[in-house]
Structure 1
Amino acid sequence: MSRILVLWAPDWPVLAAAESVATGSPVAVLSKGQVLACSQAARAEGVRRGMRRRDAQSHCPDLVLCDHQPDADARAFEEVLTALEHLSPGVAPLRPGLCALHVPSRFYGGEVEAGAVIAERLVSLGIWDIRMGVADGLFAAEQAARRSAAQDSLIVPAGASAAFLRDLPIDVLDDGDPEASALVSLLRRMGLTTLGAFAGLAPADVHTRFGTHGALLHRLAAGRDAQVVSRRQMPPELTATLSLEPPLDRVDQIAFSLRATAEAFVTDLADRAAVCTTVRIEVDADGSLATTRRWMHPRWFSATDLIDRVRWQLQPVGASPVGAPVDAVRLIPEVIEPLGDHSDSLFGGGPDERVERAVARVQGIVGHVQVVSVQTQGGRSPRERHLLVPWGEKPIAARAAGSPWPGAVPPPAPATVFDQPQEAWVVGAEGMSVGVTGRGVVSGEPTRFRPVAGADWLPVASWAGPWPVDDHWWDEAAARRIARFQVVGLDGSAWLMVVENGRWLTEAKYD
């Protein structure tokens, strides 16, 4: 029987999300408001998986929070899979941070030696905490990897999987599947707290009592793992490279020379019924990498789009043309999606191509980042919810729009949002300024207000609020306690106003 090696990178979501975070900083990745994974520095401060956001921040005020992005985890793990395939073809990805392969022991001189070669290769990629397990089956090898030391392998001798698994807790069978979780909970209540105790039951009785899924888990607990490691297909080479001989130093010449390469790049993907939505463009000058940038598209890249991105990358507005002759341009697809997901519907769809070309010409004149579209992201105030995205790029929200935002103003949203909040005044019947107590209680009935400096005083026709917000309460420097109001004057004008420390400001106007 071929032996299985499982490679496990603990806290992979943290490693994939913390590229721009300072080394050693406490980091936690959140999913649905709870900690999915955290770094060693965060664990040292008391942060644990499953904690809610506020609990984690109370344990570690300096905690860097990142939203979980499964697609980014998978893309980052692709580099690990590619490196492993150079050492041993036929890697089976199980999920980001976990993969399996048949042990290339004969080639490297043994299972321990093969593990050492793999660990050395991954450390060269900057992945320091990598653990490996070797056993007869996939389940036993994964459990061995989870109990291995960093950059080391735990070898389960051939035929000894059952003995290795015997003393492990029954909880290791809980893989997050609701059916498995319910069965593990039932076994624990029955007093079967180890895999050995569960494996000691008669297979026929297990099948009768727990069904097919229970019988499968019983085989895993007994070390009779029949799962097959299915090798992934090697990805096709889709990178398109334009080599320039002699090198060129004018942007228009480079863009003209790139047309055939860009068209071949798009056609090659179309032949595979795919499109590219994220591309990395690398430019070599004087024999070395001169510039690289990752571009995203809200729909998909055409040949013209690719040429425009190369032009913008080589010659930003206000800069001089290429400083050195360009030797090569590479188009590297980073995100490829099925063509069917982006094709037009029966009655058409998507932006008109003529509009896209007109906007692209304007961008070529005034600059790529000077032409933007407005998107929506998460936030409590209208200003926080605005997201400006350069035209032609896929929006990436800093805050998830679908998450709950306690204290957010209810719809409809105001049409006019001021760049900077305008000073305002709101008074009661006796001319005293209206405020909000620490418990969120209004000190008096608003009767008159002046929405901006220089405006006339207006009688209040109606008002709603307050919507109190206790923002960044854990950070003394950034903490804010405010309350928002919607105020309507007798002239019909409606305003979104905020009071902070007794001072009134106008954030937006309803048109």
Structure 2
Amino acid sequence: MQAPTRSLVLWFPDWPITAFSNEAVSPPRPDAAVAVFSHNVVVACSWAARAQGVRRGQKRRDAQALCPGLQMVPADPVRDARAFAPVVARIEERAPGVQVVRPGLCALRARGPARYYGGEVEAARMLIRQLDDDGFGGVRASVADGVFTAEQAARTAPDDDPVRIVEPGGAGAFLAPLSIATLDDAEFGSLLSRLGVHTLGELAGLQVERVRERFGERGVRLHALAGGLDSQPVQPRTPPPELHRDVAFEPPLELADQVAFGMRVAAEEFIAQLGVHDLVCTELRVVLTGERGERSERVWLHPGSFDAAGVVDRVRWQLAEDAQGIFGSGVAGVHIEPEAVDAAAHHAKGLFGAGPDERVHHALSRVQAMLGHRGVVTPTIGGGRWLTERQVLVPWGDRAIAEKVRTRPWPGSLPDPLPATVYPEPRLVGVTDIAGAPVTVGERDVLSAPPAVLETAGQRRRISEWAGPWPISERGWDALRARKAHRFQVVDTDGGAWLLVVEEGEWRAEGRYD
């Protein structure tokens, strides 16, 4: 195993919080308690949240119990990577050859910057000063033998000195007292803890052959890391091509057609640059800025790929739809960049559809241009307990973003298959028993009598089969917004299947199974 190379690591604490704050429409205050969670576990939190006891790895419920005013933000790796890309570009201006370990953590070979800036400490401090000038305070830097040791040194750097240097050959001694959990392998760490191995030094002290026999090559790799023998060198990234385009207007423009005309050349250059790299754009990010700092940002989708005219049309529609009332003194600039690209050859094989799909897209786009951006919509399914709130209409070409996420648990929601027909407003119906008396649901979800007749639109239908009731209870803690209802599925003698709900003694049809 070859000797580790000197690695310089830059660590941005709480990067998911920084990325969210930089892109949020209403950024949280610097002293706000914010936590980012994934699968109901906290993965990052602000200093204000930590001051109240919130920690990484906590369950969401425990974190909220410690900090009732905690703002919870869903994890978004794409957002984190997008916000980190310009930071890496700034680092590469002073020290090329950067490897992005993950958003918020990057590494580079220490030898080049150290020789150029007069030493490892000087190189690290220079990069921290540059990042601080760019508005990224609190960055920690370290230099050590290998990326793993350098990362741990950066994480343990004291508050009064953001630079920590682990001298050559000292990695093993530095890592020895650290917890086995530092290896970030929960299964391996749990097993070692049960065997009485709790620190990296204790793991490094085991014979490598015994580790290989028990844990295989994965164990050997972690054993080497624990001893400071990180043999994986820094792997510099290949900087992505500069595909974005910016257009500044002086003086600011007030008419949408003026803005569209003014950025037509930039749109053509944008598409041409994609062609140079044999790429097509399937998702486009457009950012409009005003003279007084106003901002409108949007991501547009295309099932095929954008052309220059399509880019201009998206800018025009965004200005007409999203920016109305935002820009008080006109548009000062337009920024366009690809949010998602695909290899042109791969795209041509039909990854996103071709032929009829492309013709459908162009036809709908033309109709949308005539009727307005929200004149053509497509349905998608969101989260919630009621069918009307789960049916979300998305303007053609927009990313489907539902206020209520479908994947979250919704106790009382209807399982698949869902009714094919959903009434925009549940229809008032009547349900009676065999004697003609209204059927009611009493305490403990007990029916007054079996449903026998369904009355809809003046027609009486005999009920041949029925199932229910399934209770729905919402917001029991809020007397003004609390709801309690019961769902039923019924089949009439003509073969019609209905989804019914009874609430406060009133029967309504939510939908029909066609």
CA distance in 2, matches of 1:354, 1:303: 17
Q: Summarize deviations over 1:248-268 as a string: whole Å, max 9, x none.
A: 776546545644542332232
CA distance in 2, matches of 1:308, 1:333: 15
Are the equivalent residues in 1 in contact too, given 2:296–2:322 (CA < 8 A)? no
**Unaligned stretches of 5+ residues in structure 1:** none
Are the equivalent residues in 1 in contact too, given 2:421–2:512 (CA < 8 A)? yes
Deviation at 1:272, TM superposition (A): 1.7
Deviation at 1:165, TM superposition (A): 0.9
CA distance in 2, matches of 1:334, 1:348: 19
Are the equivalent residues in 2 in contact too, given 1:494–1:510 (CA < 8 A)? yes
Give the match's secondary structure for 1:92: strand
Q: What is the 5 A alignment of 1:65-104? A: 65-103=72-110, 104=113
CA distance in 2, matches of 1:81, 1:26: 27
Are the equivalent residues in 2 in contact too, given 1:61–1:475 (CA < 8 A)? no
1:22 aligns with 28
* Worse-superposed segment, 457-466 or 467-476: 467-476
CA distance in 2, matches of 1:377, 1:494: 23
Give the match's secondary structure for 1:268: helix
CA distance in 1, matches of 2:89, 2:119: 22
1:311 aligns with 316
CA distance in 1, matches of 2:477, 2:499: 27
Identify if the C-alpha distance between structure 1 residues 228 and 325 changes in structure 2 by more than 3 Å, giving closer, same or farther. same
Q: Summarize deviations over 1:441-464 as a string: whole Å, max 9, x none.
A: 54543334555xx74665433322
Deviation at 1:422, TM superposition (A): 4.3
Deviation at 1:81, TM superposition (A): 1.6
**Unaligned stretches of 5+ residues in structure 2:** none
CA distance in 2, matches of 1:418, 1:123: 56
Q: How many residues align?
A: 501
1:482 pairs with 2:485: yes
Identify if the C-alpha distance between structure 1 residues 73 and 334 changes in structure 2 by more than 3 Å, giving closer, same or farther. same
Identify if the C-alpha distance between structure 1 residues 380 and 347 changes in structure 2 by more than 3 Å, giving closer, same or farther. closer
1:139 aligns with 148
CA distance in 1, matches of 2:482, 2:66: 17
1:164 pairs with 2:174: yes
Identify if the C-alpha distance between structure 1 residues 8 and 463 changes in structure 2 by more than 3 Å, giving closer, same or farther. farther
Deviation at 1:312, TM superposition (A): 1.9
2:163 aligns with 153
Deviation at 1:507, TM superposition (A): 2.7
Q: Summarize deviations over 1:448-492 as a string: whole Å, max 9, x none.
A: 4555xx746654333222333344567676554433222344565
Are the equivalent residues in 2 in contact too, given 1:434–1:442 (CA < 8 A)? yes
Are the equivalent residues in 2 in contact too, given 1:317–1:367 (CA < 8 A)? no
Identify if the C-alpha distance between structure 1 residues 111 and 440 changes in structure 2 by more than 3 Å, giving closer, same or farther. farther
What one-letter code is carried by the residue in structure 2 that aligns with 1:343?
A
Identify if the C-alpha distance between structure 1 residues 173 and 503 changes in structure 2 by more than 3 Å, giving closer, same or farther. same
Are the equivalent residues in 1 in contact too, given 2:385–2:413 (CA < 8 A)? yes
1:297 aligns with 301
1:396 aligns with 401
Q: Could you tell me the TM-score, scaled by structure 1's length?
A: 0.81
CA distance in 1, matches of 2:491, 2:458: 15
CA distance in 1, matches of 2:137, 2:482: 37
1:264 aligns with 269
1:435 pairs with 2:441: yes
Deviation at 1:413, TM superposition (A): 2.1
Q: What is the 5 A alignment of 1:267-286? A: 267-282=272-287
Q: Summarize deviations over 1:285-328 as a string: whole Å, max 9, x none.
A: 88x877653332142322221021122234459979x9978776
CA distance in 1, matches of 2:87, 2:460: 66
**Percent of residue pairs identical:** 45
Q: What is the 5 A alignment of 1:87-486? A: 87-103=94-110, 104-105=113-114, 111-112=120-121, 114-123=123-132, 127-128=136-137, 130-149=139-158, 152-175=162-185, 181-182=187-188, 184-241=189-246, 251-252=256-257, 255=260, 258-282=263-287, 292-299=296-303, 300-316=305-321, 329-339=334-344, 342-345=347-350, 349=354, 352-402=357-407, 405-428=410-433, 431=437, 433-435=439-441, 437=443, 440-442=445-447, 444-450=449-455, 455=458, 458-472=461-475, 479-486=482-489
1:13 aligns with 16
CA distance in 1, matches of 2:391, 2:74: 19
What one-letter code is carried by the residue in structure 2 that aligns with 1:142?
E
CA distance in 1, matches of 2:298, 2:395: 14
Are the equivalent residues in 2 in contact too, given 1:30–1:68 (CA < 8 A)? yes
Give the match's secondary structure for 2:78: helix
CA distance in 2, matches of 1:65, 1:29: 6
CA distance in 2, matches of 1:109, 1:477: 68
CA distance in 1, matches of 2:507, 2:308: 53
Identify if the C-alpha distance between structure 1 residues 246 and 62 changes in structure 2 by more than 3 Å, giving closer, same or farther. closer
Give the match's secondary structure for 1:134: strand
Identify if the C-alpha distance between structure 1 residues 436 and 22 changes in structure 2 by more than 3 Å, giving closer, same or farther. farther
Q: What is the 5 A alignment of 1:486-501? A: 486-490=489-493, 492-501=495-504
Question: What RMSD, in angstroms, separates the aligned Cα atoms of the two structures?
Answer: 4.0
Q: Could you tell me the TM-score, scaled by structure 2's length?
A: 0.81
* Worse-superposed segment, 101-110 or 462-471: 101-110
2:7 aligns with 4
Are the equivalent residues in 2 in contact too, given 1:317–1:366 (CA < 8 A)? no
